[in-house]
Amino acid sequence: MGWILDTEVEVYSESLALLQAGTALRERLTMFWHDHFVTSIDSYFLAARLYRLFVYEIPSPDVVEDLADLLLTHDFQLEPVVR
């Protein structure tokens, strides 16, 4: 139907490279989101549960945040938090 031009091959190659770069960027953003936000949410949830289990049924938000920071600092090891 039409002529095949070298520019079409270049456009295809550039499109493919952008698609691959977009996929890599999406994966990096997903990992960043998971590492920074999901872990923070998980640590806060776990800290609140531990506080309710061992201390008092109504947790203090400030204490829970401190416990969550401890969990993140020590890679979710419970020993420093329970001390």
Question: For the segment 16-75, what is each residue's pLDDT rounded down to a tens digit?
Answer: 565 666 667 667 766 776 666 667 778 888 899 989 988 999 988 999 999 989 988 888
Q: What SS3 string covers the chain?
A: CCCCCHHHHHHHHHHHHHHHHHHHHHHHHHHHHHHHHHHHHHHHHHHHHHHHHHCCCCCCHHHHHHHHHHHHHCCCCCHHHHC
Q: Please, is 25 exposed, middle or buried when counting C-beta atoms within 10 Å of its C-beta (0-12, 13-18, 19+)?
A: exposed
pLDDT score of 62? 92
Residue 80 has pLDDT above 50, yes or no: yes
pLDDT score of 14? 59
